[in-house]
Amino acid sequence: MRSASSVPISIVAELANNMQAIEQINRLRPQAALVMLNGDLPKSLQMVERLRQENPETAVICSSEETSSDVILQSFRSGATEFLRQPLTETEINEVFAKIEQARLRSTEESQQGRVIAVYSSKGGCGTTFVTANLAVALSRLSRSHATIVDLNLQAGDQPTYLGIENTPYTIYDVVRNFDRLDDTLLNSYLTSRGKLLSLLAAPTEVGRDEDVRPEHVTQIITMLRAQPGYVLIDPQHTLSENTIAALDLADDLVLLLTLDIPSIRSAKRALDIFRRLGYEKSRIKVVLNRYTKSPEFEIGQIEKVLEHSIDAVLSNDYKAAISSINMGEPLVQSKTQSRLQAEFTKLASKLADIQVEEDARPVSRTSWFPFARK
């Protein structure tokens, strides 16, 4: 099989039964699985259906000695990507794997677009800036790609402090000032780098320079940043101003933060109402409970009922760790301080990036593997 294909293949598993196949494919997330349909046909096709549902990125090649059009049709109806007749021939193997590889390359190209994540809370002090900074670091480490933070707190941007950036030579004010001639190179030159994988578009540092920033600028900046691979994280203002809405409109994921107190729960509910009126799909919104400590007064289930939305993640309250990371200007997820928050940020990042992590929070690599499932 390996020698027949001109596309390099590595076989990561050969599996004897359906249960094993499902279990291992869910774990390994290979690029393709070859299913031999030589036993119980309905059961095998059920497995193909389940495999495709649970692992849409894994191509399933069915192969059978019985090659009636009925078997081929049923395979495709169950979700098979390709069908190989037995005995397998070199030409057909070659063709099938080349097609699958081409499809992968196409989808990788499409995914070269960046993903925009806005972290929003309608009340100050819920941790928007802290969470944005830490999520940016967690996402870039996990996906080994670039993350850019856009600080839209135009009157008092805290991101440089939280990230330990002493000096921001350029800010969003420079972007707006040169808007007429803005291109990727110019926009990138206004970002302040923090290490290789993180950069910041800082808020203006001088009073009065925020007023010129208009929603069309915000839209253009985010659109241009998203055209580059990686993540764009937005730290918007708490008021739902035109600029904030322009940013939230473009977010692929909108993380709504709240803390465990009545005013915060109320304002999160109001924000969710406004999002509904703005036509934001529910699936885009991730509600995250920050500064969480177990309390008899508030049960998560009750809060979910009030909000009419699931709590998608919880970040523990660890004031000492949070404040010392801010004071040191080192995001907690990369500092040596031990805190539950580090694993929680990684978990949230892994959900947002759709990258599985092992228990010890190391990403599971998703290289192009071809394991073969045999019935």
Ligand X SMILES: Nc1ncnc2c1ncn2[C@@H]1O[C@H](COP(=O)(O)OP(=O)(O)O)[C@@H](O)[C@H]1O
| The one among 315, 333, 352, 373 contacting ligand X by CB under 6 A | 315
Q: Which residue has the CB atom at the shortest distance from Mg ion?
A: 129
Contact (CB, 8 A) for 238 and 153: no
* Nearest one of 9, 54, 45, 52 to 27, comparing CA atoms: 54
78, 129, 192, 199: which one contacts Mg ion (CB under 5 A)? 129
Token pair recorded at residue 14: 């050969």
Q: Which two tokens stand for residue 159?
A: 């991101």
How many residues sit close enough to ligand X to count as binding (CB under 6 A)? 19
In the complex with ligand X, the residue whose CB is nearer, 205 or 317, is 317
Closer to ligand X at the Cβ: 130 or 190? Answer: 130
Q: Does 328 bind ligand X (CB under 6 A)?
A: no
Burial of 248 (0-12, 13-18, 19+ CB in 10 A): buried
Q: In whole angstroms, how close is the CB of 153 to Mg ion at the nearest point?
A: 5
Contact 258, 287 (CB under 8 A): yes
Asked whether position 44 contacts Mg ion by CB under 5 A, the answer is no
Q: Which is nearer to Mg ion, 33 or 149 (CB)?
A: 149
- The angle that helices 300-307 and 262-277 make with each other, rounded to 10 degrees, is 40
The answer to the question of residue 291 lying near ligand X (CB under 6 A) is yes
Only one of the segments 3-11, 120-128, 182-190, 242-250 lies at the binding site for Mg ion (rule: CB under 5 A); that segment is 120-128
Residue 237 in the binding site for ligand X (CB under 6 A): no
For residue 282, what are its two tokens? 């529910």
Binding part of the chain for ligand X, among 2-10, 106-114, 315-323, 367-375 by CB under 6 A, reads: 315-323
**Selected binder of ligand X within 5, 38, 205, 317 (CB under 6 A):** 317
Sheet holding 285-292, edge to edge: 192-194, 198-201, 147-151, 231-235, 115-120, 253-258, 285-292, 311-316
CA 292 to chain centre: 23
Q: Is position 318 an interface residue for ligand X (rule: CB under 6 A)?
A: yes
Question: Mapping DSSP to helix (H, G, I), strand (E, B) and coil, where does residue 186 land?
Answer: helix
Stretch that binds ligand X, among 19-27, 168-176, 296-304, 318-326 (CB under 6 A): 318-326
129 near ligand X (CB under 6 A): yes
Give the DSSP letter string of 297-345.
TB-HHHHHHHHTS-EEEEEE--HHHHHHHHHHT--GGGSSS--HHHHHH
Q: Which of residues 142-171 bind ligand X (CB under 6 A)?
A: 158
Near Mg ion by CB under 5 A, which window of 124-132, 195-203, 264-272, 347-355? 124-132
d(CA 298, CA 197): 39
Regarding 263 and contact with ligand X (CB under 6 A), the answer is no
Of 100-108, 121-129, 142-150, 243-251, which part binds Mg ion (CB under 5 A)? Answer: 121-129
| Residue 322 within binding range of ligand X, rule CB under 6 A | yes
Long-range contacts of 351-357 (CB under 8 A, 24+ apart): 351/286, 351/312, 351/313, 352/115, 352/117, 352/135, 352/139, 352/253, 352/255, 352/286, 353/115, 353/139, 353/142, 353/143, 353/231, 355/142, 355/143, 356/29, 357/142
User: Does 331 help bind ligand X (rule: CB under 6 A)?
Assistant: no
Closest contact distance (angstroms) between CB of 323 and ligand X is: 5
Binding partner at 82 among ligand X, Mg ion, none, C-beta below 5 to 8 Å by kind: none
Select the residue whose beta carbon is closest to ligand X and give its number. 127
CA 43 to chain centre: 34
Please give the residue ranges that form the binding site for ligand X (CB under 6 A).
121, 124-130, 158, 290-291, 315, 317-319, 322-323, 326, 341
